[in-house]
């Protein structure tokens, strides 16, 4: 197993972990988004709440979610470690800084990642923590099955302007993080060829803009709707 | 043209450095290093310590020159070493900031001169094909696909100046190492030792204290030989392959 | 002193083979006990150190650079010759031998040159095996091109960076031996003296350029591969650090310096742009395949161009003088380097130069662009192409052939050579002279060997294009590994050489005293300013065209400058730190002596041959060789007041001495 340890502690091995966890988290972004888009269904939140119940009780999903948390933690901790190691490897910085030799995002992935992590804390605290460990979420019953009314919780949360702003900052950070991270993950995997690299680039840009934008629509939609109700 | 130079002065590796300002009168047809010669001549005439900087061939191929000009290794002109940069790229009244290449693996020797022997260490870890003199078969006994030969050449044009490391916010030597590896791995002669070479060179690269590549791409932009980051992607691929399928 | 070249007996073509088969060898177990010092890591040094390491010798290798890879071999552009005859165009070892002898104007040794031609083919094989990415055809086989002075295509190349690729190959072989511990590499160590014990070279004194510390390194023999001395002219295509010191220190210890006056002045370099100029840049000889060299017919036009009032394209065809085509109709723009250089000087001296300083001629691609454009339009089936279309197509072809050179030209001059004619002028490029060596590449000091440009052996009075790389690698890979045995076979009973003998201590003290002496001068002028002035004297009196009176004057001026140097040079800093000015001072001090020897040698050689042109020895304006009086190698023993000449007579048994004619 020496080879495996050598590999995982090598610079390329560490980057590979970032790449694989990053892509895994990208796939989660898609799944999570598809679920959340059910908030737009005008059924008073039934579909969404049923979906939420399924996601929190299905054993397989529970199992996968452990992987997800591990992925997030691994990506974040490894990211912070690499960031620190790289800072040390660079030593001091230049008196003059320019950004025409590499994008701002690529040079600030650590900062963007930290912002995303901060956002995640707020987000998890608002939903996951309240759902799991408190009774703050109201209950609702569909077809005789009682479940937590997360739909209403979404509306409650997003009625607070500061929460919406935190979400928007988090999602902008995510978009920027993805704009570099998506293509970078493929490069780290060695997937680069003049024939299909343009496709990866293009998909990366599309993904990085579309996904956070769709996510951002939710708090914005709620905010607008709430405002209209007054 | 009248220029203000803001130059990093550092007596040796043990001491702290600082910027100092100098005035110099330059002509547009001078090379950047000739402009520094003028400055040094002035300093020597005043019996002051001239600015130490590395240089040798002054035609962009030896890779000795190593300075960061206004935040960019070798200056911001594409595909150009500091020695090939000419003063017509500047205008009178400009302030030019000149610093040494910065990276932990490149300790400063004095002023703008840094120690790049870590590159030699990477090469010694496997940047060769093990063939003793006299063991070779006829040159034409090994046909090489022209596109592969051209690609190998593109990677082999690396002059080992270290601008990639200097440009990289992580101080990573991936462009250098990957170009060296890809040069040999694109050729049939290089296949025999491929897996060992990849693993050993990456190991030594890490050991020498270089940072980890995060695909910023600054290396490619500032490389005076315009070596592509495709080499880095290739090395990532080779490394994974060597670890998973290599003999040891 | 009787100079014995030790040329083996037998037929020319069999000398080397027979000699190799009968020379003394050193057994592997003995090789382990023998130490070899190699100074220099260019093509010759790196290849020698690597190969000697492979054979099992304990090698210590030295370079003043921060890495072996920076040696100036890296800057060679064009290519490397080899008698492979891959093109089936009639090439052979004999033909390469003959071309090199003739190109050298019959001033080199037949046996050495033939051996060089024999080794040439193995070099290509070796380089390919190392992974040198030579240019290839679509079929995957090696491509060739042709070079000046020959009628076959035998030049192997890697775009315009052949020297770089070959050096990286040798450097990688060297790196492998360093990793194995077979070669101990000393970067940033400059050799400052040679140590002799009982008349044999047994070591060197080096200075660690980072700390200033002097070290004594002992070995059974010393191999110098320290390059040429073109920087005696200050402005040359050599790197800034290229110097003669290692060779010159050996001369001071009794080695002979051969043919110092043989200098190659390359015709196609970018002209000097001002007083501040620190070095000159070569534009590959291959440009003369398509470029046409010309100056204005009248001085008035030339002066208007010099003042910037007219440009090349303003002059109609009838006002231009394509002087190479006019003077040498048979070879035209492709005459050998020495001929082309002198013709450019003649034109400029007549006042017809085309740059501000008056020293420059045009190298014009307008015709080539037209010609290529028309033929490309034809092959694309474009009927009646417009002038713009022709130009566009033609420029594309020229770009494909010379793109990187044109780009380099534009970077340096700021002018676009596709739009306006290039300006070129000759510059010092290569020195054929060097330490005198015998067939074994051993100098007259036993145990001291010299390889590559540092020796004098193979190019006579003029070197053909793409031959320098060939010689450096032949010496390092295929000659010295054998011939070093002729000396070391008798040394197997010599135990390890101690580095604390009186000879070593004395040499170290000598070096220390010399550095202290330089530091103590504390005058007012920079080292650089002395070097520049030396260069000007050399160029003026010992340059492209020499005469007795000028050479005498030049010698006198150099002596005066040397005196002034030792009275008024100022070196900042101290000896025990990283001090580039001190390094430079020690080198310039040596150039100030070599320069004098150069003038002495040029004065002695009353004939014109190859790169050495004596105004007194001409016929119809062309160089005139004098075989009767000068068919010898001038090997000089240094003496401050009167250098002593030792002659090695050259005998030609296989080629007939002819006058070179390119008319």
pLDDT tens digits along A118-174: 999 999 998 889 888 888 888 999 988 889 999 999 998 998 899 999 999 999 999
Could you give the percent of chain C with pLDDT greater than 90? 90
Number of domains in chain B: 2
Query: pLDDT tens digit string along C518-568?
Result: 999 999 999 999 999 999 999 999 999 999 999 999 999 999 999 999 999
pLDDT score recorded for residue A131: 86
Q: Catalytic site residue C463?
A: no
> What distance lies between CA C110 and its chain's CA centroid?
20
Best mutation target, B56, B130, B181, to test chain C (most C CBs within 10 A): B56
CA distance C584 to C510: 18
Cβ-defined contact of C165 to B153 (cutoff 8 Å): yes
Closest CA to C103 of C347, C331, C293, C441: C331
- Residue partners of B213: CB distance under 8 A and separation at least 6: A11, A12, A15, A188, B168, B170, B172, B174, B232
Q: Is B50 on the interface with C (CB under 8 A)?
A: yes
> Given this model, what pLDDT does residue C334 score?
83
Query: Which of B110, B144, B178 is where one domain is finished?
Result: B110
| C321 phi and psi angles, rounded to 5 deg | -115, 100
Task: Provide the shortest C-alpha distance from residue B18 to chain A (in Å).
Answer: 11
Handedness of CA C186, C187, C192, C194 (dihedral sign): positive
ipTM of this complex prediction, to 2 decimal places: 0.98
CATH code at position B73: 3.10.20.30
Is there a contact between B214 and A3 if contact means CB atoms under 8 Å apart?
no
CATH number at residue B237: 1.10.1060.10
Mean pLDDT of C308-319: 94
Q: Which chains touch B (3 or more CB pairs under 8 A)?
A: A, C
Helix axis angle for B146-156 and B174-185, nearest 10°, is 150
CA distance, residue B181 to nearest chain A CA (Å): 14
Query: Is the Cβ–Cβ distance between C588 and C531 less than 8 Å?
Result: yes
CB A31 within 8 A of CB A64: no
What residues contact residue A129 under an 8 Å CB cut-off, 6+ apart? Answer: none
The tens digit of pLDDT for each residue in B58-81 reads: 999 999 999 999 999 999 999 999
Name chain A's partners: 3 or more CB pairs within 8 A: B
Domain A2-229, CATH class in plain words? mainly alpha
The conformation of residue B17, written as its DSSP 8-state character, comes to P
Q: Find the radius of gyration of the CA atoms of chain A.
A: 20
Instruction: Using alpha carbons only, give the angle C353, C234, C276 rounded to the nearest 5 degrees.
Output: 65
Chain pair A-B, CB pairs under 8 angstroms:
141
The domain boundary residue, chosen from B54, B78, B110: B110
Residues B174, C420: Cα–Cα separation, whole Å: 41
The residue range of the domain holding B53 is 2-110
Contact status of B162 with chain C (Cβ, < 8 Å)? no
What pLDDT, on the 0 to 100 scale, is given for residue C2?
Answer: 85
Q: Does residue B153 sit in the same domain as residue B85?
A: no
Query: What is the rounded distance in angstroms from the CA atom of residue C123 to the CA atom of residue C155?
Result: 12
> For chain C, how many helices (H) and strands (E)?
19, 21
Residue in chain B lying closest to A78 (CA)? B212
Q: Which residue of C has its CA nearest to B119?
A: C67
Low-confidence ranges of chain A (pLDDT < 70): 230
**Residues of chain B numbered 67-86 and touching chain C (CB < 8 Å):** 79-80, 84, 86
Closest-CA residue to B202 (of B185, B224, B226, B221): B185
Please give the structure tokens belonging to residue C361: 């001629």
End-to-end CA gap in chain B: 61
Domain boundaries, chain A: 2-229
d(CA C38, CA B43): 37
Q: Which of B48, B123, B149 sits opposite C172 (nearest CB)?
A: B123
DSSP B145: -
Considering the domain architecture, whether residues B146 and B51 belong to the same structural domain is answered as: no
Which residues of chain B neighbour C280 with C-beta distances below 8 Å? none
Q: If you average pLDDT over residues C646-653, what whole number do you get?
A: 96
The pLDDT, as a whole number, for residue C405 is: 87
Calpha distance B146→B139 (Å, rounded): 15
The answer to whether B123 and B63 are in contact (CB under 8 A) is no
Q: Which of C292, C337, C532, C605 is catalytic?
A: C337
Chain C residues closer than 8 Å to B49 by CB: 572-573
Residues for chain A: how many in total?
230
d(CA C251, CA C256): 6
Whether the Cβ atoms of residue B4 and residue C570 lie closer than 8 Å to each other: no
Angle at A50 between CA A47 and CA A53, to 5 degrees: 150
**Domains of chain C by residue range:** 266-428, 513-649
pLDDT score recorded for residue A230: 63
- Return the ∠ at Cα C486 (arms to C484 and C491), rounded to 5°: 90
Å between A212 CA and nearest CA of chain B = 22
Q: What are phi and psi of C621, to 5 degrees?
A: 80, -5
CA atoms within 13 A on the CB side of B137: 5
Contacts of C279 in chain B (CB under 8 A): 58-59
Q: What are phi and psi of C25, to 5 degrees?
A: -115, 160
B44, B77, B110 — which closes off a domain? Answer: B110
The reply to whether B127 and B71 lie within a common domain is: no
CA-CA distances (angstroms) from residue C40 to B58, B92, C160?
19, 42, 24
Count the residues in chain B.
248
- Would you call C201 helix, strand, or coil by DSSP? strand
Cβ atoms of C264 and C611 closer than 8 Å: yes
At CB < 8 Å, which residues of chain A contact B? 3, 6-7, 10-16, 82, 85-86, 88-98, 100-103, 106-107, 109, 180, 183-184, 187-192, 194
Q: How far apart are the first and last CA of chain A?
A: 64
Average pLDDT of span B21-36:
96
With tokens 């992935």, the residue in question is A109
C576 touches chain B (CB under 8 A): no
C60: phi then psi, degrees, rounded to nearest 5 = -115, 125
**In the predicted structure, residue C264 carries a pLDDT above the cut 80:** yes
Question: Residues C116, C100: contact at Cβ < 8 Å?
Answer: yes
For domain C266-428, the question of CATH label 3.90.700.10 is answered with yes
Expressed in angstroms, the distance from the first to the final Cα of chain C is 42
Measured between CA atoms, the residue of chain B closest to residue A5 is: B243
d(CA A69, CA A53): 19
Q: Does C51 touch chain B (CB under 8 A)?
A: yes
- Tell me what percent of the residues of chain C surpass a pLDDT of 70: 100
- At the topology level, CATH places domain C513-649 in Methane Monooxygenase Hydroxylase; Chain G, domain 1 (1.20.58)
Who's near A227: CB < 8 A, 6+ residues apart? none
CB contact under 8 A, B134 and C239: no
Closest residue of chain B to A186, computed from CA coordinates:
B233
Q: Please give the Cα distance from C616 to C434 (Å, whole number).
A: 25
A and C interact (at least 3 Cβ pairs within 8 A): no
- Return the structure tokens found at A21: 């966890």
CB nearest to C139's CB, from B59, B143, B150: B143
User: Which two structure tokens, joined as six digits, stand for A54?
Assistant: 């399924």
8 Å CB contact of B128 and C529: no
């Amino acid at each position: 197993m020496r080879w495996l340890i050598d590999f995982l502690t090598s610079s390329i091995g560490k980057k590979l972990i970032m790449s694989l966890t990053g892509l895994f988290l990208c796939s989660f972004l898609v799944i999570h988004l598809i679920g959340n888009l059910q908030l737009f269904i005008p059924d008073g939140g039934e579909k969404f709440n049923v979906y939420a119940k399924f996601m929190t009780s299905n054993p397989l999903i529970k199992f996968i979610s452990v992987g997800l948390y591990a992925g997030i933690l691994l990506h974040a901790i490894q990211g912070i470690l690499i960031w620190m190691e790289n800072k040390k490897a660079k030593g001091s910085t230049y008196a003059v800084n320019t950004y025409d030799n590499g994008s701002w995002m690529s040079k600030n992935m650590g900062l963007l990642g930290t912002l995303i992590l901060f956002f995640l804390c707020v987000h998890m605290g608002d939903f996951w923590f309240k759902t799991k460990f408190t009774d703050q979420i109201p209950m609702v019953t569909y077809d005789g099955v009682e479940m937590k009314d997360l739909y209403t919780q979404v509306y409650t949360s997003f009625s607070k302007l500061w929460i919406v702003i935190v979400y928007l900052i988090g999602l902008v950070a995510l978009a920027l993080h993805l704009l570099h991270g998506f293509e970078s993950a493929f490069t780290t995997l060695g997937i680069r060829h003049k024939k299909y690299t343009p496709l990866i680039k293009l998909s990366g840009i599309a993904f990085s803009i579309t996904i956070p934008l769709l996510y951002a629509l939710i708090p914005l939609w709620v905010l607008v709707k709430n405002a209209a109700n007054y | 043209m009248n220029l203000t130079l803001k130059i990093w002065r550092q007596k040796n590796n043990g001491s702290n450095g600082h910027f100092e300002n100098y005035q110099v009168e330059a002509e547009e047809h001078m090379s950047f290093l000739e402009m520094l010669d003028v400055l040094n001549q002035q300093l020597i005439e005043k019996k002051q310590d001239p600015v130490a900087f590395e240089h040798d061939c002054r035609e962009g191929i030896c890779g000795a020159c190593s300075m960061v000009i206004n935040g960019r290794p070798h200056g911001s002109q594409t595909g150009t070493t500091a020695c090939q940069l000419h003063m017509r790229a500047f205008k009178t009244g400009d302030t030019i900031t000149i610093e040494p290449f910065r990276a932990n693996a490149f300790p400063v020797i004095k002023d703008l001169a840094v120690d790049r022997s870590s590159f030699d260490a990477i090469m010694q870890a496997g940047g060769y094909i093990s063939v003793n003199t006299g063991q070779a078969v006829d040159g034409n006994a090994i046909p090489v696909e022209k596109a592969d030969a051209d690609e190998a050449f593109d990677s082999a044009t690396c002059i080992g100046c270290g601008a990639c490391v200097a440009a990289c916010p992580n101080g990573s030597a991936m462009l250098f190492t990957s170009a060296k590896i890809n040069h040999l791995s694109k050729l049939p002669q290089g296949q025999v030792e491929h897996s060992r070479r990849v693993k050993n060179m990456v190991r030594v690269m890490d050991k020498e204290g270089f940072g980890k590549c995060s695909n910023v791409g600054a290396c490619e932009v500032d490389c005076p030989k315009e070596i592509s980051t495709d080499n880095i992607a290739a090395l990532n691929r080779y490394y994974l392959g060597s670890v998973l399928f290599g003999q040891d | 002193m009787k100079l014995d070249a030790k040329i083996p007996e037998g037929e020319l073509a069999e000398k080397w083979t027979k000699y190799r088969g009968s020379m003394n060898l050193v057994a592997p177990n003995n090789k382990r006990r023998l130490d070899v010092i190699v100074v220099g890591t260019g093509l010759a040094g790196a290849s020698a150190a690597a190969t000697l390491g492979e054979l099992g010798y304990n090698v210590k290798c030295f370079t003043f650079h921060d890495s072996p890879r920076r040696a100036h071999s890296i800057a060679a552009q064009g290519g490397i010759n080899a008698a492979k005859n891959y093109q089936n165009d009639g090439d052979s070892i004999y033909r390469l031998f003959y071309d090199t002898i003739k190109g050298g104007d019959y001033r080199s040794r037949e046996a050495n040159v033939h051996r060089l031609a024999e080794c040439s083919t193995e070099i290509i094989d070796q380089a390919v095996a190392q992974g040198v990415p030579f240019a290839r055809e679509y079929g995957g086989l090696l491509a060739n091109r042709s070079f000046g002075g020959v009628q076959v295509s035998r030049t192997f190349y890697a775009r315009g960076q052949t020297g770089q690729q070959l050096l990286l190959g040798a450097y990688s072989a060297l790196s492998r031996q360093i990793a194995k511990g077979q070669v101990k590499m000393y970067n940033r160590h400059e050799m400052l003296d040679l140590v002799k014990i009982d008349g044999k070279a047994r070591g060197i004194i080096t200075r660690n350029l980072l700390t200033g510390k002097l070290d004594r390194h002992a070995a059974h023999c010393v191999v110098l591969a320290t390059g040429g001395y073109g920087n005696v002219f200050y402005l040359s295509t050599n790197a800034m650090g290229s110097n003669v010191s290692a060779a010159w220190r050996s001369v001071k210890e009794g080695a002979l310096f051969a043919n110092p006056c043989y200098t190659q002045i390359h015709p196609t370099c970018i002209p000097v742009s001002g007083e501040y100029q620190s070095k000159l840049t070569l534009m590959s000889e291959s440009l003369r395949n398509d470029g046409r060299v010309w100056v204005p017919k009248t001085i008035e036009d030339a002066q208007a161009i010099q003042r910037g009032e007219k440009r090349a394209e303003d002059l109609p065809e009838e006002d231009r003088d394509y002087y190479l085509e006019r003077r040498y109709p048979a070879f035209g723009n492709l005459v050998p380097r020495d001929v082309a250089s002198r013709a450019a000087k003649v034109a400029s001296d007549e006042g017809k130069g085309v740059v501000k300083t008056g020293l420059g001629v045009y190298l014009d691609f307008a015709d080539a662009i037209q010609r290529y454009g028309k033929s490309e339009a034809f092959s694309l089936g474009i009927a009646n192409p417009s002038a713009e279309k022709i130009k566009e197509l033609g420029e594309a072809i020229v770009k494909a052939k010379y793109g990187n050179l044109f780009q380099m030209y534009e970077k340096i001059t700021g002018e676009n050579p596709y739009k306006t004619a290039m300006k070129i002028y000759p510059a010092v490029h290569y020195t054929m002279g060097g330490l005198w060596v015998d067939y074994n590449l051993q100098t007259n000091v036993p145990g001291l060997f010299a390889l590559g440009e540092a020796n004098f052996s193979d190019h006579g009075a003029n070197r053909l294009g793409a031959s320098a790389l060939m010689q450096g690698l032949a010496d390092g890979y295929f000659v010295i590994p054998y011939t070093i045995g002729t000396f070391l076979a008798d040394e197997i009973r010599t135990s390890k050489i101690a580095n604390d003998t009186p000879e070593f201590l004395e040499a170290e003290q000598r070096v220390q005293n010399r550095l202290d002496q330089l530091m103590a001068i504390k005058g007012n002028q920079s080292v650089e300013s002395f070097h520049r002035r030396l260069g000007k004297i050399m160029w003026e009196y010992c340059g492209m065209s020499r005469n007795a009176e000028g050479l005498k004057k030049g010698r006198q001026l150099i002596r005066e400058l040397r005196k002034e140097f030792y009275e008024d040079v100022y070196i900042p800093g101290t000896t025990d730190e990283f001090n580039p000015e001190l390094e430079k001072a020690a080198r310039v001090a040596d150039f100030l002596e070599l320069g004098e020897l150069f003038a002495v040698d040029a004065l002695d050689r009353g004939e014109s041959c190859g790169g050495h042109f004596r105004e007194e020895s001409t016929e119809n304006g062309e160089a005139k060789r004098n075989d009767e009086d000068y068919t010898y190698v001038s090997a000089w023993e240094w003496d401050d007041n009167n250098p002593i000449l030792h002659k090695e007579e050259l005998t030609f048994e296989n080629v007939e001495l002819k006058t070179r004619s390119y008319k």
